[in-house]
Amino acid sequence: MAKYVEIGGLIKKGLSHSIVEKLSNNKDVISAGYANGRATDLFDIQQFGDASESEILTVIVKEKKSNLIFDELYNYLELSTQNNGVIYKFGTISKMSA
């Protein structure tokens, strides 16, 4: 039985679509999607007073490739130099229905 990991993030609005397109061709990605949201104190520019548009990214990947995909996502978003959001990785998913 394959094991899976969730990689998630709060990403600057407009970036998640290209991430989902990029990951859709990766055979180690089971699912990738995003939803709209708002965040405070996450980005340089606050568009709505104390809040800014963001996207909530959720990616389910095979556990054995999760570190590699996380690092690719980190580099793609240029998180070491740009204030484009935050990403995180959960532990192994213990139960999932197909």
In this predicted structure, what is the pLDDT of residue 39?
63
Note whether residue 77 is domain-resident: yes
Note whether residue 97 is domain-resident: no
In this predicted structure, what is the pLDDT of residue 48?
47
In this predicted structure, what is the pLDDT of residue 75?
96
Structurally, the chain folds into a number of domains equal to: 1
Which residue type does 8 have? G
The parent domain of residue 31 ranges over: 4-92
Tokens of 78: 């240029």
- pLDDT tens sequence for the chain (98 residues): 679 999 999 888 889 999 999 999 999 999 999 998 766 655 555 444 455 678 899 999 999 999 999 999 999 999 999 888 899 999 888 765 65
pTM of the shown model = 0.81
Distance in angstroms between the alpha carbons of the first and the last residue of the chain: 12
Note whether residue 29 is domain-resident: yes
CA nearest neighbour of 50 among 40, 65, 63, 42: 40
Note whether residue 69 is domain-resident: yes
Backbone angles phi, psi at 90, to 5 degrees: -85, 170
- CATH number of the domain within which 83 lies: 3.30.70.120
Note whether residue 98 is domain-resident: no
The whole-angstrom separation of Cα 3 and Cα 92 is 7
